[in-house]
Amino acid sequence: MAIDGLIILDSTNVKPIVQTSFRYFPPAYPLLHIDAYSAALEKANRPEDVDPVLLVNLPDAPTACCHLQHRSLVFLCPISGDLDPLYAFAFIRTFLDILIEYFGELTAPTLKDNFDIVHQLLEETLDAGGHPLTTSPNALRDIVLPPSLITKILSVTGVSGLSGPSASSMSAFSSPIPWRKAGIRYNNNEVYFDIVETLDAVVNKNGTIITSSVLGKINVNCKLSGTPDVILTLTNAHTITEPSFHPCVRLSRFTKSKTLSFIPPNGRFTLMDYRFDPSANKPGAAPALTAAGAAQLQVQVPLALRAALSVTDHGGAFELTFSPRAAALDDVAVELYLGTGASGATCSAVTGGGEWTYVPARRTLRWSLPPTASGRTATLQGTFTSTDAHPRPARAAQVSFAMPPGALLSGVKVDQLKLSGETYKPYKGMRGRALGRVEWRVEWRGG
């Protein structure tokens, strides 16, 4: 399987910033895919309404254009033949993570200022035939130097010998472990684990959970000397299902004992992704045959929302009532899309705190709530206007929230860390956080 290439666009003017060489394709090939994306963007009401995979009709044979937007950047990946689009999206995500590792917050000016580094990364991560090559950030850092003040000063002054290979630049290839170079040394040996879980749920207007799932990720920042061999034990590991691991993890060990055995990469990396299975906490739980039984096996949503909407000619009215079920929730925001013709919104009653705003570019009402406590209710009432005679607002409100630091929905935590192959005893740090995205169906009163 091979990818035709990668194009990075500035979303403000849909112009390319950098792209791969496309050496086996006509010069117009990348431009045709940029034009296809631009045409689809013009027809869509919102950028997020554009299909993630676009068909591009070329004279020889049709191709597809996979695209992903990250803030002010758009990544286009043309593919042809019978290549699975998920393969292209996986590469886009991997390359995006590499850019974040190198530059931090990504913007169009950042990539333009570091064009040479971005182009080198493209050449190293995707070979001439379109096959992913070197995608490990630890190996790439020894091949393509990250941007720094000293390297910029030296390049501007024209100091010779900077581009030549050095002993450190060859260490990525001298180590028998692809993801970890040899000879790493730290004065303080420490490793930090950051567990992030995200709840995605759909709830009907009566408050019954239709579907819910929790996806987790264990991020690691490793600052350990030498070549340590780590054994990591997790609490509640039996609730983990559908895991995917960094290549350093020994799969057979996890299959047998649910422990993680690995030689870690240096620096930041994602150790594993997983899905939380709530039925694992209920011994003897059988497959649910009824709606009530299915609801009991769903992950519970730590909030309640009553959303009512009525529509009249050229407008309508809405009422949102929010109440948390958890001890505390942070960064709570409720969004309601008011339709393609929405021209404004006015709120006549706000109780329980919070701020509301109408976002014209997205035709969306956004209600931001302060940190909430269990039992505290907030209500927002108002009206909206529309240029359409018969407005068609969304039939569901989107709710996002964050739980207090340390609160995890699955109960998965770092229990024990053992290290062999080195004589030092490392410092271990762990933190957890849980986020939520809930689609809450609206009670419809007209239209």
For residues 386 and 338, is the Cβ–Cβ distance under 8 A? yes
Buried b (16+ CB within 10 A) or exposed e, 304-329: ebbbebebeeebbbbbbbbbbebeeb
Q: Which residues have a Cβ under 8 Å from the Cβ of 256 and sit 6 or more positions away? A: none
90 in helix, strand or coil? helix
Question: Does the pLDDT at position 164 exceed 70?
Answer: no
- Asked if 321 and 378 count as a contact pair (C-beta separation under 8 A), the reply is yes
- Count of CB atoms situated within 10 Å of the CB of 423: 7
Residue 447's CB is within 10 A of a number of other CB atoms, namely 13
This prediction has a pTM of 0.77
How many angstroms separate the CA atoms of 73 and 259, rounded?
39
SS3 8: strand
- For helices 85-103 and 115-125, give the axis angle rounded to 10 degrees: 140
pLDDT for the residue 445: 74
Q: Return the CATH architecture of domain 190-298+406-438.
A: Sandwich (2.60)
CATH superfamily, domain at 303-402: Mu homology domain, subdomain B (2.60.40.1170)
362 versus 151: the higher-pLDDT residue is 362
Q: Indicate whether 447 pLDDT > 70.
A: no
The label of the residue with tokens 């080195």 reads: 422
Compute the average pLDDT of residues 135-156: 74
Q: How confident is the model at residue 311 (pLDDT cuts 50, 70, 90)?
A: very high
Q: For residue 422, give both structure tokens.
A: 């080195």
Q: Which of 99, 133, 129, 135 is nearest to 3 (CA)?
A: 129
Cβ-contact 320, 384 below 8 angstroms: no
* pLDDT(303) > 80: yes
If one looks up domain 7-174 in CATH, what number appears? 3.30.450.60
Beginning with the edge strand found earlier in the chain, give each strand of the sheet holding 378-386 in spatial order: 342-351, 378-386, 315-324, 303-312, 443-444
User: Regarding predicted confidence, which is higher, 151 or 90?
Assistant: 90
> In this prediction, what percent of the chain has a pLDDT beyond 90?
66
Extents of the domains making up the chain: 7-174, 190-298+406-438, 303-402
Instruction: Note the pLDDT tens digit of each residue in 401-428.
Output: 999 888 899 999 999 999 998 999 999 9
Let me know if the fold of 190-298+406-438 is the same as that of 303-402: yes
Residues 249-260: what's their mean pLDDT?
94
Render pLDDT for 190-218 as a digit per residue (tens, 0 to 9). 999 999 999 999 999 999 999 999 999 99
Q: Is the pLDDT of residue 280 over 80?
A: no
Nearest to 7 by CA among 76, 62, 74, 84: 76
Residue 155: band (very low, low, confident or very high) from pLDDT cuts 50, 70, 90 = low
What b-and-e string marks burial along 83-114, b requiring 16 or more CB atoms within 10 Å of the CB? Answer: beeebbbebbeebbebbebbbeebebebbeeb
Amino acid 172: pLDDT: 47
Mean pLDDT on 340-357 = 88
Asked whether 401 and 436 are in contact (CB, 8 A), the reply is yes
Arithmetic mean of pLDDT, 65-72: 94
Could you give the C-alpha distances from 156 to 153, 162, 238, 305, 332, in angstroms and in order?
5, 11, 56, 58, 47
**Which residues have C-beta within 8 Å of that of residue 374, sequence separation ≥ 6?**
324, 325, 326, 327, 328
Question: Per-residue confidence at 444, pLDDT binned at 50, 70, 90?
Answer: confident
Element (H, E) at 354: none
